[in-house]
Amino acid sequence: MNEPASAPSPFYQSVGAYFDRAADLSSFPVGLLDQVKSCNGIYRMKFPVKDDEGNIVVIEAFRAEHSHHRLPCKGGIRFSPHVTQEETVALAALMTYKCALVGLPFGGAKGSVRIDPRAISPGFRERVTRRYTAELVKKNFIGPQTDVPAPDYGTGEQEMAWIADTYRALNFNQPDTYACVTGKPLDLHGIPGRREATGLGVYFGIKECLDRAEDMAALGLTPGVAGKRVIIQGLGNVGSHAAHFLQKNGALIVGLAELGGGLYDPAGLDLRRAQHHFRENGSLADFGAGTFVADPAQVLEMPCDILVPAALESVITPANAPRIQAKIIAEAANGPVEFAADEILTARGILVIPDLYLNAGGVTVSYFEWLKNLSHVSFDRMTTRISEQAKTQIIDAVERLTGRTLENGDRHQITAPPREVDIVHSALAETMAFAYHQIHDAWKTRDLPDLRTAAYTVALDRVCRSYLAHGIFP
């Protein structure tokens, strides 16, 4: 990563320190490792937008392209009043390692705009988003083959739609304009399954971890998701979907932390009702069940098996790490655990499932959306009929051979072709399972200190090899 302009934040320092710890254990040349760590390009911009009263407001924004070893670069866009250049660079670095880890052919990038999306009108948000996109176009920091943004904290499908539409308006003759951004609504060339992809990937990753009986025994836990007590921080896109899939598969959601306060109930909370209450009231206060905890940070320290931080970075620090009671911390957010806190947690025997692996589901399904946009065909269209026919033929043959017939409902269930969303979910499940297997294998066979170092090691190996394969351009 490049040197930031201001004093480095713990998050920026942590990403660098995690990289260094893995790099120290590798045998690649120091110069090459320096290159992999460096941010290849940053565009810092300021542009004017009119607010709802017609006043001119200057907006500061960034796009960091951390790595060009594969193109396009890929990474979300964050809207928050707290974004900085160094935070954007650290998030872009994580994208490089994340894409390499789960085998996606992308470099890493990240964008950020310093606004509070919850405090401004939709009209103002649209003007900011469109102008930001135009700035990116001007400097070639967006495009289907150069740099492809997606949603992140504070943004969602609506912003992605505005980005796609603006890009298309400025590049009308290009055939693949919709592939300039992912996480778009279905009606604008999105893909089913993208909305829940990160949270579902978080669930798949936690499940993989919980299925390793030996590791669970070391933590004093039984294998499997069922019955595990879970606390979730952040009820946004990632946290709410992760909570939903964990609960659907038998976990007990005992704690929720959101801005303005949290809830805790060792007997389990009604997740759907809590989410509805939060959406309606903007707060978990007065929910009427469980204990309301005014300081949401305190919820992180309550008894549970799995703590899922799904909000922002640096929420587990050396100050609260000694008080965390979870046995597993599942990093759904980017950078929730600071480097110094990570060392405390590891020393206390707490297993951390690292961000660069655990929240890779979003970019994985973004990859599918990008492929779909480039090929201009949905994943199920070419196989629907043939898959149904093949299964019908097998059942017919089995019925002829056995002389028995299936009930119509059963026959339909077996022969029904997979929908596009089923294809996306199964490919995501496979990606998360395969990547976990690889990092777990590296952790155990290379005698690495923890899963995070294993994940960085696998990612770093791949990026270094890619650079070496290309050779150094004279």
Among 45, 259, 395, 429, binds ligand NAD (CB under 6 A): 259
Report if residue 359 touches ligand NAD, rule: CB under 6 A: yes
Give the shortest CB-299-to-ligand NAD separation in angstroms: 8
Counting contacts by CB under 6 A, is residue 285 touching ligand NAD?
no
Q: Find the distance separating the first CA and the last CA of the chain, reported in whole Å.
A: 22
Q: Site size for ligand NAD, by CB under 6 A?
A: 25
For position 311 contacting ligand NAD by CB under 6 A, the verdict is: yes
Contact 155, 149 (CB under 8 A): no
Asked if 109 is part of the footprint of ligand NAD (rule: CB under 6 A), the reply reads no
The only residue of 40, 233, 247, 373 in contact with ligand NAD, by rule CB under 6 A? 233
Query: Measured at CB, which residue is nearest to ligand NAD?
Result: 236
Q: What sections of 171-269 are H helices per DSSP? A: 197-210, 213-219, 237-248
CB of 453 to ligand NAD, least distance (A): 20
296 near ligand NAD, judged by CB under 6 A: yes
Strands across the sheet containing 229-233: 291-293, 261-264, 252-258, 229-233, 306-309, 328-330, 351-353
User: Across-strand partners of 231?
Assistant: 255, 307
Question: In this chain, which of 39, 90, 231, 235 binds ligand NAD, going by CB under 6 A?
Answer: 235
Residues 6+ apart with CB under 8 A from 226: 249, 250, 251
Distances (CA, A) of 175 to 133, 171, 220, 269: 18, 9, 55, 49
153 binds ligand NAD (CB under 6 A): yes
Q: Does residue number 191 form part of the binding site for ligand NAD (CB under 6 A)?
A: no
Q: Which residues of 330-365 are buried (b: 16+ CB within 10 A; e: fewer)?
A: bbbbbbbbbbebbbbbbeeebbbbbbbbbbbbbbbb
Task: Say whether residue 257 binds ligand NAD (CB under 6 A).
Answer: yes
Give whichever of 215 and 370 is closer to ligand NAD, judged by the CB atom: 370
Among 83, 179, 225, 312, binds ligand NAD (CB under 6 A): 312
Which one is catalytic: 110, 207, 228, 372?
110
Q: Which of 154, 193, 261, 290 binds ligand NAD (CB under 6 A)?
A: 154
Given phi > 0 = left and psi -120 to 50 = alpha, else beta, which region is 282? left
Question: Which residues partner with 300 through β-bridges?
Answer: none
CA distances from 194 to 164, 173, 189, 287, 368 (A): 16, 27, 11, 30, 9
HSE toward the beta carbon, residue 157, CA cutoff 13 A: 16
| Known active-site residue 110 | yes
> Which residue number, 116 or 430, has a Cβ lying nearer to ligand NAD?
116
**Residue numbers 32-91 binding ligand NAD by CB under 6 A:** 76
When asked if residue 243 is in the footprint of ligand NAD (CB under 6 A), the reply is no
Which of 362, 432, 452, 462 touches ligand NAD (CB under 6 A)?
362
**Choice between 364 and 457, CB closer to ligand NAD:** 364
Residues contacting residue 446 through CB under 8 Å, at least 6 positions apart:
25, 454, 457
111 binds ligand NAD (CB under 6 A): no
By CB under 6 A, name the one of 87, 157, 258, 338 that touches ligand NAD: 258
Taking a C-beta distance cutoff of 8 angstroms, is the pair 258, 234 a contact? Answer: yes
Query: Does the footprint of ligand NAD cover residue 193 (CB under 6 A)?
Result: no
Mention every residue, 6+ apart, whose C-beta is less than 8 A from residue 239: 199, 232, 233, 308, 310, 311, 332
| Sole binder of ligand NAD in the list 225, 238, 351, 423 (CB under 6 A) | 238
CB of 256 to ligand NAD, least distance (A): 9
Give the interface with ligand NAD as residue ranges (CB under 6 A): 76, 151-154, 198, 233-239, 257-259, 296, 310-312, 332-334, 359, 362
Annotated catalytic residues are: 110
